[in-house]
Amino acid sequence: MNCAVVLLLTSSCFTWSAAGNIPSREAPNKLKYLFEPPVYAEVAGRRGGNVTLPCILRMKPSLYKVKWTKLEPGHVGPEFIIMISNAHTFKPYGRLGPRASLRKAHTMDASLQLSRLELDDGGTYRCELVNGLEDESVVITLTIEGVVFPYQSKNGHYRFTFYEAMEACAEQDGSLATYNQLYRAWMDGLDWCNAGWLHDGTVRYPIINPRPVCGGELLPGIRTYGPKDKDHDRFDAFCFTSQTSGSVFYISGSFSFEQAGHACEHQGAELALVGQLYSTWHFQNYDQCDGGWLRDGSVRFPISKPRKRCGGIPGAGVRSFGFRDKMTHLYGAYCYR
């Protein structure tokens, strides 16, 4: 029986028994050298933190190697080697190697430790045991906890090429969101009517409450325009950020943009980035019902306890006044230290 299609739909494969046509589950191939991790094994971490990706040996061949790699999304394309080890030593490779080590909690432990997590560390990792001509592997998913925020150019909607969107997210302490990150944000309540670039080069937007201007009567979900031309097509961006190592605070006042920057400098800080404000709102429930300048020239404020006098929108979030005239509009300042 060819089980490929069934696996895509159900993650299981069934055969029909001879008696009564009752479906019975096929026994999975049992690993010889490695313990199978829990179903849908997933480890979560935050930027700057440390995680352990489990890989436990069932038995030790006399001569063997363990190879840890990070896979491209969809397991398509090259895999990036992080570390190769044997019973005595290990050798790190690539961008992740300097931050990787083996846990070695006991003699059968080949678990990978990653330190000082970065935004791009999320994804799929493989622990592979190689014994001569034999090899077997287990796969673990690392999820970086964080928040997705929509971002547009100061010149208006739909002004970014893919590469400009990538740069814009990086400038705001983030990275282009993956589809999985956008999906989690949608599950948590993100409803946004403007399409934006994602990390894989597709353009999508999340809708919870369908309305005529946002796809009409289509069901709620992640709407997609599919892959677009990265050099010529223009959209907004969906950025992703995680916790920051510093803190965001508000200075009350009636400042021009330049004055707001000086006010932060007097406190040993600088104007906050959009991603830093979103991170503080998301991880620390930051709530401040006052518009303030950010470093990109936009004016925003974070709301964790929605109320009528603070934007009038029922859900929590970071409200935006957009990009204001830096000389004539006066607001407080959101600083980062």
268 shares a domain with 230: no
Q: What percent of the chain has pLDDT over 70?
A: 89
42 shares a domain with 20: no
The domain of 50 spans 32-144
Provide the domain count of the chain: 4
Per DSSP, the residues of 215-247 read TTTPPSEEEEEEE--TTT--BEEEEEE---SS-
pTM: 0.84
Domain boundary among 226, 241, 256: 241
pLDDT of residue 93: 95
Instruction: Look at the block and give the residue holding tokens 């050798």.
Output: 91
The bridge status of strand 236-241 relative to strand 147-151 is: antiparallel
11 has a pLDDT exceeding 80: no
Query: How many CB atoms within 10 Å of residue 197?
Result: 31
103 shares a domain with 38: yes
pLDDT (tens digit per residue) in 101-118: 999 999 999 999 999 999
Burial of 306 (C-beta count, 10 Å sphere; 0-12/13-18/19+): middle
Q: How far apart are the first and last CA of the chain?
A: 61
